[in-house]
Amino acid sequence: LFPHDPQFRGRQVVTMHNQRDFVFFRHHRYIFEQKEERGQVSARLQELGPRFTLRLKSLQLGTFDTQHGEYEWKHKPELDTSRRRFHV
C-alpha cells in the first residue's frame, strides 16, 4: 500500500484512528510555516490519499488461520441493536 524507501526524507504520515467501531486510515503530509511578523512557527496538514475506512468483523488470537483459528471477538448481528452502543 505504501512502498518503503529507507532513504526517503519526507514529511508524510499515515494516521490510523479508531472511533465508534470503525478504523479510519488517512495519509497526510505535514508542512511547517514560519510567520515573518512574530517569528512563530505553525504546522498544517495536507491530505494526500489513499483514504479508507474499515469496520472490524472478527479478531483472531495468534497467527492468521481461517480454518482452525481461535477468535477473540466475532461480530454477531444481535449486537447491532442500538446505534449508541459500540463494542470495539
pLDDT, average across residues 2-10: 71
Predicted confidence at residue 25, as pLDDT, reads: 92
Q: Where are the domains of the chain?
A: 12-79
Single-letter amino acid code for the residue at 70: E
Per the model's pLDDT, the better-predicted residue between 79 and 30 turns out to be: 30
pLDDT digit string, tens, across residues 37-84: 777 888 888 898 888 998 888 888 888 777 888 888 787 777 666 666
* CA pair distance 31, 43, nearest whole angstrom: 6
Complete DSSP assignment for 13-76:
EEEEEEETTEEEEEEEEEEEEE-TTT--EEEEEEE-S--EEEE--EEEESS--TTTPEEEEE--
- Asked whether the predicted pLDDT for residue 30 surpasses 70, the reply is yes
pTM to 2 decimals? 0.54
| 3-state class (DSSP) for residue 12 | strand
Predicted confidence at residue 53, as pLDDT, reads: 92
